Amino acid sequence: QVQLVESGGGSVQPGGSLRLSCVASGRAFSINTWGWYRQAPGKARELVAAFTDVGPTDYADSVKGRFTIFRDNAKKTMYLQMNNLRPEDTAVYYCRATLTWSPIVEQPRRLEVWGQGTLVTVSS
C-alpha cells in the first residue's frame, strides 16, 4: 500500500505564489520516477515537470522561469514552487509516481500511483 497526498493548493491572486507538496507514504517501496501534472478546465492533462533517477525533466514551456520542482528523498516528499501565477495556471495539480513495491522481497511489483489532486485557482 503506497499513497501520494498533495497539499498546498488554494486561491491566489495573479502574481502570487504557492508551494505544493506531495508526500509518498507506505512500506517497502522505492520511487523510480515522479512528477507534477495538471489539468485545466476543458484541457487535457499535461506534464508540468518531473524527476527521473538522474534529475528533473525540462519544464513545460508555459511554466519555465516561474515554477521550480525539487524534492527531499529522505522525507519522500516532492515540491512544486509556483511563482508569478497566472489565471491560466488554474488547474487541478496531481502528483504521479512510478515505484517498486516489495512487501514480499522476492516478488517486487512496479506500480503507477496518482494522488487525488489539489486545486489551484488564480483569479482576482
Tens digits of per-residue pLDDT, 30-70?
A: 999 989 999 998 999 999 999 876 766 779 999 999 999 99
Question: What pLDDT is attached to residue 56?
Answer: 62
Question: What pLDDT is attached to residue 79?
Answer: 96
Percent of the chain with pLDDT over 70: 98
Question: What pLDDT is attached to residue 105?
Answer: 84
Query: Is the model's pLDDT at 4 over the cut of 70?
Result: yes
Average pLDDT score, the chain: 93
> Which one-letter DSSP state was computed for residue 52?
E
**pLDDT tens track for 101-123:** 998 888 999 999 999 999 999 99
Contact between 120 and 89 (Cβ < 8 Å) = yes
Residue 30: all three cell numbers together? 522505492
The Cα 77–Cα 115 span in angstroms is 13
Question: What pLDDT is attached to residue 53?
Answer: 67
